[in-house]
Structure 1
Amino acid sequence: MQRNGGDFLIAAALFLLLLLYSLPSLALQPVETFVAGARQRNPDALEARANLAQEEAQADSTLGRVLPGISARGSYTRNQYSSSIDIAPPGQAPQPITVVPSDQWDGSATLRVPLIDLAGFQRVSAAKTSAQASAHQLEATRLQVEGQAVQDYYQVVANLALVAASSAALDVSRESFRLAQARYQAGSAAALEVDRARADVEQQVQQLAAAELQVALTARALESASGVEPDLSSVVRLSDDLHPEGNLDAFEGGLSRLPAVAAATASTNAAEKQADAQRLALAPSVAGSFTERGTNAPGFTGHEWSYQAAVTATWSFDLTNIADIRSQEAAVDAARARELRTVLSSRDSIHREWNTIVAGIARGNDHAARSPPGAARRVRRGGQPHPVGRGPRQRARPAPPLHRTQSALGKRREGNAMTRSMKLLLLGALALASACKKVEGAQSAPQRPPAPVSVATAVERDVPVYLDEIGKNIAPEVVTIQAQVPGRITGIHVKDGATVKRGDLLFTIDPRPYRAQLDSAEASLARNQAELELAKLEFGRVQKLLETDAISQQDHDSRRSAVAVSQAQVRLSQAAVATAQLNLEYCFIRSPIDGRAGQRLVDLGNVVNPSASGGLLVIQRLDPIYADFTIAENDLGSVQRALAAGQAKVEVRLPDEPDKPRTGTLTFLDNAVQDGTGTVKLRASIENRDWRFWPGRFVKVRLVLGTQKGAVLVPATATQISAKGPFVYVVKDDSTTELRPVAVGQRQGDLVAVAQGLKGGERVVTAGQLAVTPGGKVRSQP
């Protein structure tokens, strides 16, 4: 009774806490901090600021082209020869004139003044207008990034509030679970109610994790948008701002003052001025120049300093002028279309946001009217709706009557609009009712009978440590039978799927052409051998005549050369005979390995060629057979240590025969980790005399790395999963149970290894866990 009274007090305290406590909205730094950060550090704002600086620089560059400009040039020349002449009349003093000095200096300065350049002046105006458009675009970008920062800010605030609500709901669910367990132990609740309470706790845990994930994601988005790291340690209370908005016409009336619209308008004006400049390019341009020149080689002028003034008129025309005008006019049309699209989009945005805000205010007022303080205010207003209504253009939506039964749709909407505080209040009331019910029925609750369960004893045993992987059988030898000489198939000596031995005849290619080639080569060989004998006899006679000087040395050398040529011809004919014999042998295709033949790819009478793709037949060796598989790179160290210790073994099983493993040998470990997958290739070789394993079939591969001494094993059905991890029910000597957390190891058939939390000889529940409660009695049954 004392414990029941304590539960009642806990539930009552929880109810009062939920009734009186209003969850504050967790927030960050003030929203102005993030707005200022977005304005200064957001990449879009920085790009728009750089674009403005670029447009202003281009405008200055365009202006500089139509303003007066000064240029200067100087040069020094070293001449190999100098020349000068005397222009004085006869009888007068010399007047030398230097034509080419040895050290020549030249310099000039030129002032250019555009006098008439209508196209250039118009381009200056277009550049300035483009700079103004960039300034408006910068302001529009700033508004956009500030709006994004504000939206992300309040999204973080909402997610923080959701975390707080989920945490409170989890506390209520845990308390409800504890009360359900107490009622179950008292015999006033069924095991299903405990399971439902446990499931509710698990659901609330998942909701809390999801809410925390959303907080992390939105906080990161806010930091990216503003460049300010959110501080989640402060608490800011949010207040409702439900003041009425102005008329929609007032907002739409200022449409032209929006930065985005102003930027689009300025861009259109700039395009029009560029089009005018392109048309004015057809008019001639006039420019003046004044040049002052100095040199120490004045020539016949006799003056080292001189000036030159000029006025230049320039005009040109070709097909490109007309094409440029048409191109710029098309650019004007495109700019006007973009301006129209911007205006329509801005107007739609104003309309959408205005109606969204008005609808939100109306929903907030309706929700406030349904709350107890709102109901009191409505009583004071005599049941009239909130004066804000739904906006200047819409009628005020009447609030629902205070004492009228609502329709099913209205109830459903009201239920969907229930605040977090009302939900927590309802959960607290349910917990209080459950506790009160348990207090009332505690005195009359009967003793709970022992739960019927199945029990098994934990055993200690040496078990293997292994890695289970999925592998694939690969034939150790795969040979594609290919014709080595062209010809027609005249004999097929193997059936599809037959077992073949090395040297068995598989196909016969028509040998008659190649037998004829062999006969021809042998005849040529016989002829060349006869010629060689004749050449040797003639050379012997000539050699004797040379000793008596009856023949010249030239004839002697010719006969000796004829012998060498005949010998070469004999060797050539011998090679031709060997080639013809080899080609004749190629007409009889034999198996190069022992194995099983696949489906033949040619029929009798087909003409085959060595260059044809596909071959005639594929033969695969099946005994032994390979099992290729991969392991994760994190397991590579364990495998290497097992190989070094000589403890690595491989067991290969077929998917449909898991109880019939076949032991193999690990024969290959790849020398690198595969890029992208992070796995390492391995290969095992297994005996396959009965052809149980088949190439290309997937198999289960167990790589045994060693043995674990004295492992504690229990039936796999004994382990259960909770929010805190796996556990087992341990049956004590007095037939009561203890919920004990355990660390589960690898599975060993129907058993599972328990790495921590259990000892050999202890009894555990293997069936009937739903009826078991910690500390409750159980009754063992088969």
Structure 2
Amino acid sequence: MTTMVLSSAALAQPLTAFLEASTTGNFDARQSAAEAQRAQASFGQAWGALLPALSANGGWTHNQYDAVVPLPQPDGTTRNITIVAKNQLDATLKAEVPLIDAARWAQVAAGGASAEAAARRTASTRLQVQRQVVAAYYAWAAGLEVLASAQRSVDAARAQVALRDARADAGVGNELELARARAEVERNLQLLAAAEASLSNNARQLETLTGLAPSEPGTPVREAVSLPELAELERGLTTLPSVEAATLEARAAERTDLASSLALVPAINAQFTQRFTNASGFQNAPAQASGGVTFNWRLDLVGVNAWRVQRANGELARIAADRARRAAEDQLHSDFFNLRAAVKKVSSARSQVAAARRAADLARERSAAGVATQFDLIQAERDLFAAEVSEVEADAEAATARAQLTLSAGNPLAAEVAR
């Protein structure tokens, strides 16, 4: 099935301009990008905990009294041993290396999956933003045509007032017809004001979503669009960012669960310390080194319950991944049938406009010939305006549905809109 829908090809600012602006101007996109950076930094922080750590500290201490012990030597001399110096200097260099820390290994793996999930979540947010931008853009573009149609209705009503004035001046009209014509002008002015307000609000929403203010537009054109096969669109669902993000989040939860269980495994660390001091005591060495291996192990109810909590979190994440896959399928199904319905609406709206325009032409001709009532002409003009609005709305709905179906199928939108 093929029909003609609204396109942005001839607008001064095409849809692609707003889509590009939304990558940096949309609040949700900016927040998601910042969250991805935070997740990547957290992964780096967890990974850094597995690497050797160096620390250094030093100090100067002034003591009121020193502690010096004279120590006799075999040759008969005496050597002073400083236990506490009056002006004591101390400096320590320490290196620590984690040898075995199974819980941290699993936490690093979980952090890596979380960082990947955050990156895919950013891509998913970008797609959601694009869906919003598409809807707002075509609502704005449709508002332009509705405004133009409302202006045409005002012009037509004013022309009828001029005609009724002329007929009254010629003595063949009456005051009732003139009053009706003037009332119709005021009614159409109200519709024009509503169209202007709607267009302004749509432009504001588009600017909020993208950070790009809509400028003076050109004239929208219409292009053909065909309905693709649903089975072909479903092939890309598994690679959708939202599905991949949920899958990675489930993987991260599983690894966090593993890390909680591995907390029962002792952690073994090696350390080396180099100390410098002018109060070395009986060692009588200003530089002293030491090294060793330590292990830490703890078993308590808190750790057991923490493991149970993480296991429940893992199950919740798996459920969320299943829900994300189903939601992607539902969204694609909804967008597909929305587009199919919109295509039918466009075809029907075209026929409605053609019939309403023909009826309006006949009403004008018959009114000029004096064989149609003023009410027939007013009603025909109203029907034409309503039909034109329905056509514009159907075009915008179809264009929006086409773009959103492209996004929900995981296909790039740029090639779809920049034609």
Structure 1 partner of 2:103: 119
CA shift, 1:291, in A, is: 0.7
SS in 1 for 2:370: helix
Structure 1 partner of 2:378: none
Q: Distance in 2 between matches of 1:241 and 1:92?
A: 111
1:362-392: CA deviations, max 9, x gaps? 4445666x5xxxxxxxxxxxxxxxxxxxxxx
Structure 1 partner of 2:178: 194
Please tell me the residue identity of whatever aligns with 2:84. V
- Alignment size in residue pairs: 364
The answer on whether the counterparts of 1:27 and 1:160 sit within 8 Å (CA) in structure 2 is no
Q: Mapping of 1:721-732 within 5 angstroms?
A: none
Q: Which has the higher contact order (CA 8 A, sep 6+)?
A: 2
The answer on whether the counterparts of 2:141 and 2:220 sit within 8 Å (CA) in structure 1 is no
Please tell me the residue identity of whatever aligns with 2:218. V
Q: Distance in 2 between matches of 1:176 and 1:25?
A: 36
1:107-156: CA deviations, max 9, x gaps? 11111010110000100111111111110111111111122112111111
CA shift, 1:314, in A, is: 0.7
CA shift, 1:184, in A, is: 4.5
1:552-592: CA deviations, max 9, x gaps? xxxxxxxxxxxxxxxxxxxxxxxxxxxxxxxxxxxxxxxxx
Structure 2 partner of 1:35: 19
1:465-500: CA deviations, max 9, x gaps? xxxxxxxxxxxxxxxxxxxxxxxxxxxxxxxxxxxx
Q: Distance in 1 between matches of 2:199 and 2:318?
A: 43
Please tell me the residue identity of whatever aligns with 1:129. A
1:239 aligns with 2:222: yes
- The structure 2 residue matched to 1:268, chosen from 225, 232, 250, is 250
CA shift, 1:178, in A, is: 2.6
Structure 2 partner of 1:313: 295
SS in 1 for 2:225: coil
Gaps of 5+ in 2: 1-7, 372-419
1:432 aligns with 2:365: yes
The answer on whether the counterparts of 1:292 and 1:307 sit within 8 Å (CA) in structure 2 is yes
Q: Distance in 1 between matches of 2:370 and 2:75?
A: 148
1:188-223: CA deviations, max 9, x gaps? 455443333233222211111111111011011111
Q: Distance in 2 between matches of 1:207 and 1:303?
A: 96
Q: Distance in 1 between matches of 2:348 and 2:74?
A: 121
SS in 2 for 1:66: coil
| TM-score w.r.t. length of structure 2 | 0.81
1:256 aligns with 2:189: no
1:144 aligns with 2:77: no
- Structure number with the higher helix fraction is 2
1:209–1:428 distance in 2 versus 1, CA, 3 Å: farther
- The structure 1 residue matched to 2:157, chosen from 173, 177, 186, is 173
Gaps of 5+ in 1: 1-23, 371-417, 439-782
Q: Mapping of 1:599-678 within 5 angstroms?
A: none
1:283 aligns with 2:265: yes
Please tell me the residue identity of whatever aligns with 2:178. V
CA shift, 1:327, in A, is: 1.1
Which aligned segments of 4 or more residues in structure 1 are displaced greater than 6 angstroms?
none
Structure 2 partner of 1:74: 58
Q: Distance in 2 between matches of 1:428 and 1:196?
A: 20
1:130 aligns with 2:114: yes
SS in 1 for 2:226: coil
SS in 1 for 2:270: strand
The answer on whether the counterparts of 1:28 and 1:157 sit within 8 Å (CA) in structure 2 is no
| Aligned-residue CA RMSD (Å) | 2.3
Q: Distance in 1 between matches of 2:188 and 2:73?
A: 120
- Structure number with the higher strand fraction is 1
1:50–1:329 distance in 2 versus 1, CA, 3 Å: same
The answer on whether the counterparts of 2:227 and 2:339 sit within 8 Å (CA) in structure 1 is no
Q: Mapping of 1:261-410 within 5 angstroms?
A: 261-365=243-347
Q: Mapping of 1:583-594 within 5 angstroms?
A: none
- The structure 2 residue matched to 1:158, chosen from 133, 136, 142, is 142
The answer on whether the counterparts of 2:238 and 2:244 sit within 8 Å (CA) in structure 1 is yes
Q: Distance in 2 between matches of 1:202 and 1:296?
A: 99
SS in 1 for 2:223: coil
Please tell me the residue identity of whatever aligns with 1:432. E
1:258–1:266 distance in 2 versus 1, CA, 3 Å: same
Q: Distance in 2 between matches of 1:323 and 1:237?
A: 62
The structure whose Rg is larger is: 1
Q: Distance in 2 between matches of 1:364 and 1:100?
A: 94
